[in-house]
Amino acid sequence: MNFRILLPSEVFFDSEVTKVIAEAQNGSFCLLPRHVDFVSALVPGLLSLEDVNEGEVFFAVDEGILVKKGNDVMVSTRNVVRIPNLGELKGVVEEKFRILDDREKAARTASARLEADLVRRMMELSRI
């Protein structure tokens, strides 16, 4: 199967695989090459592949959508991290989320400053 992980800004992973294991709201599922076409909403969790060249490959994915059509399988998500091995899963995911938390804090701070500036300017205009 042709497998791709798509992020909003790039194709994160593109390879030939023989098996895909992912997690949906009602539990995990496995896709093999001759399975019926399939669409599923993914929950944050582990995505496991059997890559033709690399063997077993692991990803930690945010929520997203998986679509299998014919021989193509695509996952669209906002965040994904490739995990070298399952022993490093916790550390890699924690580091990724720490970076995201720091970015979100910076964005919230910038948004609060803009909002405060807007309110201050509106009050100045109302005095005129």
Q: Give pLDDT tens digits for 2-33.
A: 999 999 999 999 999 999 999 999 999 999 99
Q: How far apart are CA 125 and CA 119, in angstroms?
A: 10
28-79 pLDDT, tens digit each? 999 999 999 999 999 988 899 999 998 899 998 888 999 999 999 999 998 8
Beta strands in the chain (DSSP E): 2-6, 11-24, 27-31, 38-42, 45-51, 55-61, 64-69, 72-77, 80-83
pTM surpassing 0.75?
no
What's the pLDDT score for residue 5? 97
What average pLDDT does the chain have? 87
Q: Which CATH superfamily is domain 1-83 in?
A: F0F1 ATP synthase delta/epsilon subunit, N-terminal (2.60.15.10)
